[in-house]
Chain A
């Protein structure tokens, strides 16, 4: 498999701020790769390094085998969908979409024909003569996509492209983007701070924190086997136990984490499944979420854990009020050992 983007020990420092700090990763050709992290974690800076808007302080970047550092954005076979879409307000949709063709000197008729094709691909046929200001957020985003894809770049970069859309539209666009990527077969590098988005859309993702990558893997890897307390807690909800508690409760030799939905809750007197680890505690908070219920349980050793129980056909969740004594249980193999850099704060 070809490598579309390679980062080798890349750093980008702004004065004392290490926006990207010694980061290495590879994106395979044709892959949908997400860069996930909170704001200021270095994911957008990494994207700008790939696009060429910014140059690394040190390290090596390759795009499809050729060195990228020092190469200006207009000489890179990479296109970007910007967070604010960055559509040219003084041009209509057709001229926006065909901008890169205009730059290359393609004649007008050909330009318009190909732009119309792209607009049809993003389901905006017939909108060519409108100005960006006359479009809705979702439509602008499609125009930005069409504009970035018209040259069939080797890599498409997307900088939080769904961030400005409302929830319903965002969910639709997630499905469409994924389908579009399969259709055009272009490598997508997608920056987001939304872990659900990253999990549901990407083939692989990198979790960024404070300028470094905490973990790279498939969504299943990241969710089921987080390697650090940060990943365990940033991606979904996790109960992270420090080394001491993890040894006492689960016999692990270091810090551990367990997903709330992998745990069960029973009232005193009921028996937990055979072989399960069980700890008694008190309910501190209870929220009803429709499909599931969420309980905050204070264990005997003062550790607080979150347990999510599905309201399924198998039975409603435990009817329990705050202050009710309960027993929390989980299977030993569901608790996952984290790397040894201490428990989460």
Chain B
């Protein structure tokens, strides 16, 4: 390089000086890049979360309806009232069954995508799984309400197949049944299952993709029939993916307050309880205490998931 060119580099002005500083101090660059989002996350997100948690230790004056800003665990004890405990158990029960069902439904799809589909078919599978995520969540939930309604297409299909008796039998099951699918727990469950399924398929598929095909050959070579190979080799290696997916389906179901409001019986889920208490009821402390419940449950869930190696598959 000519000395003239070197001189030009040295005297490049303040922009060049900044580039040099950033280049020679990688940590400075990192600070400049991460500073603003970290401040945003720290103040807006963690700050408001902390403020919310603080509220849960206050209580509401039953006569005036005003918040008493003194430390008390009274609000938490209210969570144990049968009506509130019902809400918590109902939500956790729904989240668990949605998670288990999602794992069962997602596994074969993920298995097909990872090991059998290739090229265009695989791309098509990806689009099929992802496409619903690009459309409005509300639109999808409302269309399910139409599908599941008594006048909806599902009822019509059952009628055409002369299977109305079967649908009626299912709806007659106590607790999960109801007058129609769109106003029963079963309906809520089906919509949850549909909405969160992609979040289960993708981690399982990623985990399966990482299993070398030679392991399946090796298992067969050592005498294992396909069933045993599945149980001893494929399932254990895909399990972290299942757990990773279940974190999504479980936590998303735990916190959702729109689906049970649109499709289902009128009984509340945690999200709806939070919504109601902080809104019309004006009971911010109880709403905050309700919010703490899924946080604690997820804390426990994530600890167990970490033990099971779920985060190795992310």
Contacts and interface: CB of A to CB of B under 8 A. Distances in A.
Contact of A99 (B217, B222, B237): B222
Interface string A72-116: 111000111011101111100000000110111000000000000
A72 B225 CA distance: 9
B70 interface: no
Contact of A51 (B221, B224, B233): B221
Given A82-B214, A103-B228, A73 B221 contact: yes
A158 to B, nearest CB: 12
A79 B222 contact: yes
A197 B299 CA distance: 56
Contact of B223 (A82, A90, A103): A103
Interface residues of A, number: 25
Nearest to B210: A89
A288 interface: no
B231 to A, nearest CB: 11
Contacts of B236: 90
B220 A74 contact: yes
B217 A90 contact: no
Among B220, B225, B236: residue with most chain A CB under 10 A: B220
B217 A80 contact: yes
B220 A53 contact: yes
Interface residues of B, number: 17
Contacts of A90: 236-237
Contacts of B225: 74
Nearest to B233: A88
B217 A53 contact: yes
Given A74-B225, A103-B228, A88 B215 contact: yes
B124 interface: no
Contact of B237 (A73, A86, A89): A89
A12 interface: no
Given A88-B233, A90-B237, A73 B214 contact: no
Contacts of A74: 220-225
A82 B228 contact: no
A212 interface: no
Given A89-B237, A90-B237, A82 B222 contact: no
Contacts of B223: 74, 100, 103-104, 151
Given A78-B221, A84-B214, A90-B237, 18 more contacts: A51-B217, A52-B220, A72-B220, A73-B217, A73-B220, A73-B221, A74-B223, A74-B224, A80-B217, A82-B217, A86-B212, A86-B215, A88-B218, A88-B219, A99-B222, A103-B224, A104-B223, A147-B222
Interface of B: 212, 214-215, 217-225, 228, 232-233, 236-237
